[in-house]
């Protein structure tokens, strides 16, 4: 079963058209330095969702080296992105990549902990899409902190919600304890998200698991 899944992923990856020079460079860097950028099939799925929904203002929590922000900006020509990264080394790498891609006017990179820069982000206005891709144990806090900045018809997308399939395993059997606790937190987040009265959520078993939460727009 697992071998088939891996084969399928390799097949899907082989169908993805070649990326441009800067994107290819970032993919290579991420692989060499083990930077957890979005996997290729998940990234392509997210871009397709964006092309369908055509957001104009995106907030990304977790920029890493700027890969997903740059890919989103290159796919949607008139989108503006605010993205937050707390790791200084990655922030500086992202800054360099954004400049190299000529996207400084459309990608606003904030250095800091997303749990501490709300006021700074609030000054940027409202968003039609929020992409949550930072510390997995904090997903619910990111969601509740930033969802007030989402427009009524907006969407929140969360990556890694299936955490390599571990959410579907017997949690108590997962080692080490740190991973077990993380899996439990993600599982709780998924259930909380599915039960959220203000959002309709679907989880796609694509990449590392992508949750798409569409705001209902009015209280029910």
Ligand X SMILES: C[S@@+](CC[C@H](N)C(=O)[O-])C[C@H]1O[C@@H](n2cnc3c(N)ncnc32)[C@H](O)[C@@H]1O
The residue ranges that bind ligand X (CB under 6 A) are 36-38, 62, 64, 67-68, 84-87, 90, 113-115, 133-135, 138
Taking the complex as a whole, the smallest distance from the CB of residue 146 to ligand X amounts, in Å, to 11
* Residue with smaller CB distance to ligand X, 117 or 151: 117
User: From CA 180, how far away is CA 95, in angstroms rounded?
Assistant: 34
* Residue with smaller CB distance to ligand X, 140 or 216: 140
Q: Closest residue (Cβ) to ligand X?
A: 62
* Residue with smaller CB distance to ligand X, 116 or 152: 116
Taking the complex as a whole, the smallest distance from the CB of residue 197 to ligand X amounts, in Å, to 26
* Residue with smaller CB distance to ligand X, 85 or 128: 85
Question: For the chain, give me the number of helices (H) and strands (E)?
Answer: 8, 7
- What's the half-sphere exposure (Cβ side, CA atoms, 13 Å) at 73? 26
* Residue with smaller CB distance to ligand X, 155 or 218: 155
User: From CA 190, how far away is CA 168, in angstroms rounded?
Assistant: 12
Contact 183, 174 (CB under 8 A): yes
Taking the complex as a whole, the smallest distance from the CB of residue 62 to ligand X amounts, in Å, to 3
CA 37: distance to chain centroid? 9
User: From CA 89, how far away is CA 35, in angstroms rounded?
Assistant: 11
Taking the complex as a whole, the smallest distance from the CB of residue 34 to ligand X amounts, in Å, to 11
User: From CA 118, how far away is CA 114, in angstroms rounded?
Assistant: 7
User: From CA 163, how far away is CA 167, in angstroms rounded?
Assistant: 6
Taking the complex as a whole, the smallest distance from the CB of residue 125 to ligand X amounts, in Å, to 19
Task: Locate all alpha helices (DSSP H) within 85-127, ordered by sequence.
Answer: 88-100, 118-122
């Amino acid at each position: 079963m697992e071998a088939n899944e891996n084969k399928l992923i390799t097949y899907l990856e082989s169908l993805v058209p070649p990326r441009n020079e800067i994107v290819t460079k970032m993919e290579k860097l991420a692989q060499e330095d083990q930077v957890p950028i979005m996997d290729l099939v998940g990234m392509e799925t997210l871009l397709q969702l964006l092309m369908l929904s055509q957001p104009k203002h995106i907030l990304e929590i977790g920029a890493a080296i700027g890969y997903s922000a740059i890919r989103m900006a290159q796919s949607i020509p008139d989108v503006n992105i605010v993205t937050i990264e707390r790791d200084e080394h990655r922030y500086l790498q992202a800054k360099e990549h954004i400049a190299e891609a000529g996207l400084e006017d459309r990608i606003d990179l904030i250095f800091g902990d997303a749990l501490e820069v709300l006021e700074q982000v609030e000054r940027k206005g409202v968003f039609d899409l929020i992409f949550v891709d930072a510390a997995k144990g904090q997903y619910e806090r990111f969601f509740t902190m930033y969802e007030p900045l989402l427009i009524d018809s907006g969407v929140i997308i969360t990556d890694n919600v299936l955490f390599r399939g571990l959410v579907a395993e017997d949690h108590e059997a997962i080692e080490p304890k740190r991973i077990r606790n993380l899996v439990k937190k993600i599982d709780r987040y998924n259930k909380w998200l599915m039960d959220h009265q203000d959002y309709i959520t679907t989880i796609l078993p694509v990449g590392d698991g992508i949750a798409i939460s569409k705001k209902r727009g009015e209280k029910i």
